[in-house]
Amino acid sequence: MNKTKTSLLAPLKNLLATETRRRLFENFLSLSFLQVANYIFPLITLPYLVRVLGPEKFGLISFAQAFIGYFVILTDYGFNLSATREIAIYREDKEKVSEIFSSVMVIKFFLFFLSLGIMSAIIFTFEKFRQDWEIYYLTFGMVLGQVLFPVWFFQGMERMKYITFLNILAKLIFTIAIFVFVRKAGDYLSVPLLNSLGFIVAGIIALWIVFKDFGIGFKMPSWEGVKYQLKEGWYIFISTVAISLYTISNTFILGLFTNNTIVGYYSAAEKIIKAIQGLLGPISQTIYPHVSKLMYESKECGIKFLRKVTLLIGSFSFVLSLIIFIFADLIVRIVLGSQYTESVIVLRILAFLPFIIGLSNIFGIQTMLTLNFRKAFSNILISASFLNLVLALILVSSLKHIGISISVLISEMFVTLSMYIYLKSKGIKILEGKIV
């Protein structure tokens, strides 16, 4: 009996045998709780919102979020990866960490005010935006919240529990408030307002923790420090912009060429996919700082580690995708309701995105970026973005929400395959070799 118990506990003891592994396991648990929250909270509010607001108002909110998403990308500027890597490497040097933190925050606030100016110019120049100007300014609060919340700092320090606590707090505030303040379609402006307030509150608390618990001091950065951070984040920023051309841009393009109701059908199905896809987030976020350091110390050890992760993520995401494809009709009826039957075909087309994107994350972010193949990484994503843009403009006019779904699927397949071929050309075989 005791022998059996000991043998069952042996893998867990081995997993937690070193400080590094214990930290990875703790971070994985923290991010798992966060992703469960990311999965549960939308599943609580989504069925309620799509029914109360209807496809038209839900589509307008989704269109506004897609538009504001560009400014989130601009203010993030790739720091969620480049600054994470910098913090991870220098985390023992508090002076250096303070320098990195200060440089990144100054740049992010400059980009925030630049974004506000650009958005205002667009809103008051074009009638389509001007007629619903309130929703765009209320949604813009998300940008301020993202600027205030230094996710990259906590990831680099490998202290994911802070990210977990604050994100769950923000989502809890938003979720409770939705049921209190959104009772009819006319309350649609409360949705972006409450969402923005949740992000801003979490961001303010996050900064307080950085200064108080980590002892990080703010000091005016040197121009050299600012230039260095801009240079380090540039390729990732370009890549993120490229990714946006076949992620948030799809909702945006659909809104420009169709109407809010069609956007509602597409975005409702897309939100289900993103909620399910989010289940893979803890693994990716947990291992990135670890892989960055591992590749820095030993390329061979890093690739061996990634082979194990590929088997885990590939198997899990494929099963998830298969379940979505088979039960798409049932999922839409339960989560979205009878008004959204047009979303079933969208959900089926997008069903295998968790599997495809799970692999591209390993090939691209975990492998290409940590090995400094940043230019090739950017080029692949830029190519995919143009492919998606061309396909979207061709297919949306005739197939609407179905056309944009096909465009997304083809573009994501192109990204994953291109990254795999590039790595293989460099002699890096993530899918081949022994898993030890």
Q: Per mean pLDDT, which range of 96-100, 171-175, 258-262, 330-334 is the poorest?
A: 171-175
Which pLDDT value is given to residue 8? 44
CA atoms within 13 A on the CB side of 190: 18
Q: Using CA of residue 163, residue 164, residue 167, residue 173, what is the dihedral sign?
A: negative
Higher pLDDT, 290 or 98: 98
- DSSP summary character for residue 432: S
Read off the pLDDT band of 429 (50, 70, 90): confident
- Alpha-carbon span 415 to 408, nearest angstrom: 11
Task: State the residue for tokens 């069925």.
Answer: 47
Q: What pLDDT score was predicted for residue 231?
A: 85
Output the six-digit token pair for 344. 């079933």
Q: Give the DSSP per-residue string, 300-328.
A: HHHHHHHHHHHHHHHHHHHHHHHHHHHTH
pLDDT value for 296:
78
Quick: pLDDT tens for 129-141.
999 999 999 999 9
Cβ-based neighbours of 331, under 8 Å, separated by 6 or more:
272, 324, 347
In the chain, where are the structural domains located? 27-244, 263-436
Give the 3-state secondary structure of residue 185.
helix
**Rounded CA separation 193/84 (Å):** 29
Range of 109-113, 255-259, 291-295, 426-430 with top mean pLDDT? 109-113
| pLDDT for the residue 12 | 44
Residue 282 has pLDDT above 80, yes or no: no
% residues pLDDT > 70 (the chain): 88
Query: Which residue do the tokens 């109701």 mark?
Result: 261
Amino acid identity, residue 357? I
Using pLDDT thresholds of 50, 70 and 90, give the confidence band for residue 159. confident
Between the alpha carbon of residue 78 and those of residues 31, 248, 303, the distances in Å are 20, 16, 24
Identity of the highest mean pLDDT range in 34-43, 156-165, 175-184:
175-184
Give the pLDDT of residue 230: 85
428: left (phi over 0), alpha (psi -120 to 50) or beta: beta
280: which 2 tokens?
Answer: 């893979």
- Residue 229 makes CB contacts below 8 A (sequence gap 6+) with 79, 82, 83, 86, 100, 103, 104, 107
Summarize the confidence of residues 321-332 as an average pLDDT: 95
What the block records as the tokens of 118 is 């650009």
At 347, list the tokens: 């959900």
Q: What is the mean pLDDT of the chain?
A: 85
The answer, yes or no, to whether residue 71 has pLDDT greater than 90, is yes
* Token digits of residue 282: 């803890």
Q: Answer whether residue 112 shows pLDDT above 90.
A: yes
Structure-block tokens of residue 136 = 């765009």
The pLDDT score that the predictor gives to residue 27 is 67
Of 80, 119, 77, 380, nearest in space to 242 by CA: 380
pLDDT tens by residue, 397-427: 889 999 999 999 999 999 999 999 999 998 8
Q: What is the pLDDT of residue 7?
A: 46
User: What is the per-residue pLDDT for 436?
Assistant: 44
| Residue 260 or residue 33, greater confidence | 260
What's the whole-number mean pLDDT along residues 382-402? 90
Query: What is the rounded CA–CA span in Å between residue 39 and residue 366?
Result: 23
Q: What's the pLDDT at 36? A: 66
The predicted pLDDT at position 212 comes to 86
